[in-house]
Homo-oligomer: A and B are copies of this chain.
């Protein structure tokens, strides 16, 4: 997958070498000679990946990486540290600064391209999600800074699959300090657990005695439900094939055996942070939809949602020869509440009416705030008599309820008028049934209020 890569190094020869290698593989390359320029270039060009030298004068790679991760627009761009240092402690330092991985100088081409491909692929998926988030921000439904890469990872769930029980215990104990961990020592039993366990990360050993760990990872990654759950594999130091094949198969990271638990922890944290960020971006979409169909004051469905569904439900009832009823209700003299006590008290009263409505309907019913003090309940598979009973029950409940308000009077008593209409089996439409209910409501209002009136079908 083509990509723009930022190469950062203070030694021109190193930049030239990497640039040549990457350009040869059809990547677009931009360069920077120090950390300051790197941040400027990253902000300006939004590359898909950053290859960052560690040892630089002025601001070193760790510091540069840390700074990049604090800038929203570039915080999600994967960073690979290029370093001559090869101690686990150095790697932990880089991971803590927010780096995704390391390449050791002199750079091995195969390792370089495997890493680049894998990280670019993840980045492109993340871009799609971020694009939506930005649309949401522009339209003002997602707050800036609501979704950030540096989210809290506590309480995340990790699945570890390893038949080396000593090693399994060691990993599990280390990770249990920060996460909820489930351990499986018999890989053949892991399928169901992995798919249905709601994990934020799966750790798989590639040193299993009877199972090919890579195949297990590939199998999980081919399930649409858990495709986006990061997988981290444990590989033997000499098993370069497993590392490269793993990256090709879409595993997200690897830890070399024997395990340095600090490095493992740091890598686990990096993966889980990215997963959490993706989850945030996705749930942000759900929230947007929720807001689109819900009345913000009462939590009932809004008029738009009712309108979308009314015709469908009428059609469905006609096609299946099922009854259907609808009621529209209006609070009597509601205006006087607003005028006497103010809008806040008016809102409190409407909320309490909504609660009465919600307690009176079944889950198959659709209760919506139709506007102001008007509410509609659409009741599938409910006939004329049942609907009148429900309406009468709601009317009586409202009449007898002392509605609590934050005003000196303490409570208010209100009544409602209701119009009920039911499906005309000879042919009907959402608009027609709503109109009949509305006419019945009008009669209830002009017949003295606090009444249920049912519309007769012609």
Residues of A within 8 A of B (CB): 1-4, 26-28, 46, 48, 121, 124-125, 127-129, 132, 135-136, 139-141, 143, 214-215, 217-222, 224, 227, 245, 249-250, 285-286, 288-293, 296-297, 302-305, 307-309, 335, 339, 342-343, 371-373, 438, 442, 445
Contact = CB atoms under 8 A, between A and B. Distances in A.
Given A26-B214, A372-B373, 14 more contacts: A1-B121, A1-B221, A2-B218, A2-B250, A26-B245, A28-B218, A48-B222, A124-B227, A135-B285, A136-B289, A139-B289, A143-B308, A297-B303, A343-B438
Nearest to A438: B343
B285 A132 contact: yes
A140 B250 contact: no
B125 A128 contact: yes
Contact of A289 (B4, B141, B305): B141
19 contacts: A1-B250, A2-B218, A2-B222, A2-B249, A2-B250, A3-B222, A26-B245, A26-B249, A27-B222, A46-B224, A124-B125, A128-B128, A135-B285, A140-B308, A141-B289, A141-B292, A141-B308, A288-B288, A296-B307
Contact of A304 (B1, B129, B296, B335): B296
A445 B336 CA distance: 12
A171 to B, nearest CB: 24
Given A2-B222, A224-B127, A371-B372, A339 B445 contact: yes
Nearest to A328: B343
A46 B307 CA distance: 33
Contact of A222 (B28, B136, B372, B373): B28
A219 B297 CA distance: 50
A290 B2 contact: no
Contacts of A3: 222
B286 A289 contact: no
B219 A141 contact: no
B135 A289 contact: yes
A4 B125 CA distance: 19
A280 to B, nearest CB: 15
A136 B218 CA distance: 30
Contacts of A445: 339
Nearest to A3: B222
A18 B124 CA distance: 31
B140 A309 contact: yes
B293 A140 contact: yes
A6 to B, nearest CB: 12
Contacts of A129: 128
A125 B125 contact: yes
Contacts of A309: 140
Contacts of A143: 308
Contacts of A227: 124, 127
| Closest 6 pairs between A and B when the two form their complex, measured CB to CB | A372-B372, A292-B292, A2-B218, A26-B218, A2-B221, A2-B222
Contacts of A214: 26
B249 A135 contact: no
Contacts of A297: 303
A214 to B, nearest CB: 7
A308 to B, nearest CB: 6
Given A215-B26, A285-B285, A139 B293 contact: yes
A241 to B, nearest CB: 13
A445 B335 CA distance: 12
A372 B140 CA distance: 23
